[in-house]
Amino acid sequence: MDERRPIYPYNFGKVRFTQKKDKTIYAIYLCDEAEKMLPNEIYFEGLKDIKSGKISILGTTLKATLKREGDGYIIVLPEAIRTPLPSNHAVAFKLK
């Protein structure tokens, strides 16, 4: 069973954070009902010491890029994942 628990800061805007027992951190972007495409970038704050670079987009073979930006991070999404939405509800990213 995939046991993930919410972790601090729990959420930032439309992003929620969870962690597995092995310390793997996930960011889950919640899609709005009327949303037709994902944004170019997703910004969040609150997590510390995450390595920048390529990150997995769960359920796909595509990778996004995680960059440090001031007090937070930006997930830069590839065009291929932005439209059509991969899910009407949420898109999950494996950060570390």
pTM of the model: 0.90
CA separation for the pair 1, 87 (Å, rounded): 22
> Domains of the chain by range and CATH?
4-94 (2.60.40.1180)
- b/e code 23-62 from CB counts within 10 Å (16+ = b): eebbbbbebeeeeeebeeebebeebeeeeeeebebeeeee
Name the residue with higher pLDDT: 45 or 96: 45
Binning pLDDT at 50, 70 and 90, where does residue 96 land? confident
pLDDT at residue 1 is higher than 70:
no
pLDDT digits (tens, 9 = 90+) for 14-63: 999 999 999 999 999 999 888 888 999 999 999 988 889 999 999 899 99
The mean pLDDT value for 67-86 works out to: 90
